[in-house]
Structure 1
């Protein structure tokens, strides 16, 4: 049994990318030498991988994913992931921090997470390649006095293209209902406050609506009540900590805002169908 870290590792951009942006073209060989990428971790930045050929295998929050050519994989800073296998792949990679992202794009990225891979039609692929090629050109022009704002703007163009194409494929442009707007706002609030707030009424208060109306909106859009989403978000974080850290179940319960350790244990069993220790032992390397 391999020794687990005391918490989930968080990788930052190296000092050479202290501006909070890294962009380039890579191949399978680059990943074979990046052993740290094969171990589960988080980043404190956003990752976009535009694959041109070959196949890549990833694990993102316990879900196995395969990325094939002409597709983009997006990984949010909250997501625990590792790169499992990269075969004969050729791809572009963009890493960008929150500070460099357009506020509107950052909000939309939060909303679509967890995102599936985005498959690009031929015409769209050409546009994305042009956009990220410009990013690389500006990234390499170290002596340009306006390099950083130009680089930031070009990277945001790529991100904006991704969000636009993703939301277009996700749902045809037909307007957003009030129920969908409230559900989206609830999910964003949940991701920020799930440790602090555990009751539907807490989120209804944040959104200045009644708990009954919030529940009606969320159930109508997702098919599940507010309490279900709160529990799922908490348990996902618990799974991450159980699998990727060496913290005890009691320490994890405390970290997630549960003073009542037995209640947390019962909740975990109810949601997953197994005890926290059983989950940990089952998923140990």
Structure 2
């Protein structure tokens, strides 16, 4: 098996502008050329990784192959890619690329935008229409100009607001592509709230009743809402979120299955092993061995 870090690597997206916000536009001919550069955003590392903040990429030219949480995407212009800090990803191939990237952490992100991003996650890469792609490109160019004005009195506020404007543009495009509806149903509102609480508690809380209590709902009503909105009960979503994290840790870290089980809130290691095998269709060790060279 290829050598892995004990935990999944987290890459800090930093540059000379701001410790919480990064922005760049890069031109790279191929993977080999990128290996020789020191870049903050669009990496081509041999090891899959997470970012320490919300990351956004606009592919303006060229082609890219990107793996995000066990799914491989081949991306062409003009495409927006949003990657949540939880998501494990790796750029596996690309050629003749012009890409703009920006990233922002939770503290500097508009709270309403953060809530919307959490509700959207995970998302597919989104192909933009020509007109909106041009607006994105022009907005990035303006943001880059602002980033060079580090003597301005409100410099960091200017960066924050510029980055949030780009994030709002991204969110608006994903919402535009979403299923049209005049009114969000009560089922969907409850399910969105459940997903938010699940994301914060999946490692510690496994009981549908506990989630219902956190949301001040009965267990039966929470199940009714989630099943109506998604087709699956609350327990299914809890298990799937845990299994996704288990897959990430098995595939991208060197932690033992027992360590992973404990990290995900299972003191009963044999139970975790049986659950994984039941839901995935293979044992945890067999899943890990797929990463053999």
Within 5 Å, give how 1:91-102 maps onto structure 2. Answer: 91-102=99-110
TM superposition score normalised by structure 1: 0.95
Once the two structures are superposed, the pairs formed by residues 180-195 of structure 1 within 5 Å of their partners are 180-195=188-203
- TM, length-normalised to structure 2: 0.93
In structure 1, the residue matched to 2:6 is 6
State the partner residue of 1:26: 26
**For the residues of structure 1 that align with 2:273 and 2:223, how far apart are their CA atoms?**
25
Inter-CA distance 207–185: structure 2 relative to 1 (3 Å threshold): same
Once the two structures are superposed, residues 223-245 of structure 1 have per-residue CA deviations (whole angstroms, 9 ceiling, x without a partner) of: 11111111110011011111111
Contact 1:20-1:97 at 8 Å conserved across structures: yes
1:192-211 alignment to 2 at 5 Å?
Answer: 192-211=200-219
Q: 1:178 aligns with which of 175, 178, 186?
A: 186
State the match for 1:148 in structure 2. Answer: 156
What does 1:214-253 correspond to in 2, within 5 Å? Answer: 214-253=222-261
Q: Is the 8 A contact 2:17 2:150 kept in 1?
A: no
Q: Does the CA-based 8 Å contact 2:17-2:148 persist in structure 1?
A: no
Q: How does 1:2-151 map to 2 (within 5 A)?
A: 2-14=2-14, 16-29=16-29, 31-33=34-36, 37-151=45-159
Contact (CA 8 Å) 1:12, 1:43: kept in 2 or not?
A: yes
The SS at the match of 2:16 is helix
CA shift digits 1:36-81 (9 cap, x unpaired): 6342011111111111121111111111012210110010000011
Task: Indicate how the Cα distance of structure 1 residues 15 and 51 shifts in structure 2: closer, same or farther if over 3 A, else same.
Answer: closer
Question: Would the aligned equivalents of 1:67 and 1:73 in 2 still touch at CA under 8 Å?
Answer: no
CA RMSD in angstroms comes to 1.5
Equivalent residues, number: 285
Q: CA deviation at 1:15?
A: 6.3
Which structure has the highest helix share of the two?
A: 1
Q: What stretches of structure 1 move > 4 A for 4+ residues in a row?
A: none
User: 2:40 maps to what in 1?
Assistant: none
2:46 and 2:148 map into 1 onto residues whose CA distance is 28
2:177 match: secondary structure: helix
